[in-house]
């Protein structure tokens, strides 16, 4: 007979491995959140509220993201697809914001509790470089999105906290 402590340790190890293997699946669901973001490194921080619906296709290993965010005076539509590669921690996909940067490719890696991604883009109005490195971290029923400018990592571009 397996001691309860050993069984508990085995179950926790399996759950941790499953979560580490594919955090995209854990990001599925309806999320709402708020925080701040800026359009350009020199721009002001704007208050942001968002509602997103993430759907995970296990067969394809793909997370679909659809939502809307509101900043003072306007609303933004967001969409994206992220896919994990079989047997790898690599993630790739596209991010789409028709009210802002348009469609851009994203690449990254899964972590034990989320994703680390980068994308390169220019502000469509000014041509300014708005390339970013973003981190999505899962914490219980929470999801935190933070990003910094890739050319100026000391400049935060977004900090949003979501809950289910």
Number of domains present in the structure of the chain:
1
What is the domain extent for residue 80? Answer: 4-163
Give CA torsion, residues 82, 85, 90, 95, to 10 deg.
-20
Q: Give, in order, the Cα–Cα distances in Å from 52 to each of 8, 43, 75, 160.
A: 35, 24, 13, 12
The domain that holds 89 is classified in CATH as 2.40.128.20
Kindly provide the residue ranges of all beta strands, DSSP E only, lying in 72-113, ordered along the sequence.
74-84, 90-97, 102-111
Q: What digits encode the pLDDT tens for the residues 5-42?
A: 322 332 323 333 333 447 899 999 999 999 999 888 88
Give Cα 105 to chain centroid, integer Å. Answer: 14
pTM: 0.79
Q: What digits encode the pLDDT tens for the residues 123-143?
A: 888 888 888 999 999 988 899
């Amino acid at each position: 007979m397996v001691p309860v402590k050993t069984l508990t340790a085995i179950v926790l190890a399996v759950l941790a491995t499953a979560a580490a293997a594919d955090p995209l699946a854990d990001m599925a669901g309806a999320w709402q959140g708020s925080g701040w973001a800026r359009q350009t490194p020199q721009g002001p921080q704007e208050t942001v509220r968002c509602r997103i619906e993430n759907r995970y296709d296990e067969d394809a290993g793909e997370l679909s993201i659809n939502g809307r965010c509101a900043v003072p005076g306007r609303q933004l539509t967001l969409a994206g697809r992220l896919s994990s590669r079989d047997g790898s921690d690599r993630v790739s996909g596209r991010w789409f914001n028709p009210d802002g940067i348009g469609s851009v490719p994203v690449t990254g890696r899964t972590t034990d509790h989320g994703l680390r991604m980068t994308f390169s883009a220019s502000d469509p109005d000014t041509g300014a470089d708005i390339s970013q490195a973003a981190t999505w971290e899962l914490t219980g029923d929470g999801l935190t999105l933070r990003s910094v400018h890739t050319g100026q990592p000391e400049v935060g571009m977004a900090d949003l906290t979501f809950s289910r």
